[in-house]
Amino acid sequence: MATTDPVMCDPLSGARSENAFFRLDAMLQAQSPLTVEPTFDFREAATIYRTARSKGKAIREHTDCLIAAVALRTDAVLLHSHRDFDHLAEVFPRLRVQRHSQE
């Protein structure tokens, strides 16, 4: 399992205590890193956002497009619980997604 920097922000910002923050941080740091390559990934994220919008898919968070750009570049399967990633996979068939139920 791997993660990328933008993914780390969401669970860490939602930690309910300092202890939970440190436990989450340790768990995330233990994952293999998929680094953001700014020169490529930010531009690709903008292209992903614009292409999805042109196909009628409104993506709520630009960060999701950045995460998708990293997944596409590294050919990683994107484990998610946000419907926007399903929308992106409809527009970008190379984007491999796996929905994770939070139940």
Query: CATH number for the domain including 45?
Result: 3.40.50.1010
pLDDT band at 102 (very low <50, low <70, confident <90, very high): low
Q: Determine the structural domain holding residue 42 and report its residue range.
A: 2-99
- For 3, the 3-state DSSP assignment is strand
pLDDT above 90 covers what percent of the chain?
A: 70
**pLDDT exceeds cutoff 90 at 98:** yes
Dist. CA 102–CA 48, nearest whole Å: 26
* Interval 2-13 mean pLDDT: 84
Strands (E) in 1-91, as ranges, are: 2-3, 32-33, 78-80
Which residue is it, tokens 């929308």? 87
Average pLDDT of the chain, as a whole number? 92
- Provide the pairing of β-strand 78-80 with 97-99: parallel
| Overall number of domains in the chain | 1
Q: 68: closest CA among 38, 100, 101, 92?
A: 92
**pLDDT exceeds cutoff 80 at 103:** no
* Helices and strands (H and E) in the chain: how many: 5, 4
* Interval 24-45 mean pLDDT: 93
**pLDDT exceeds cutoff 60 at 44:** yes
**pLDDT exceeds cutoff 90 at 8:** no
Instruction: Please name the amino acid found at residue 12.
Output: L
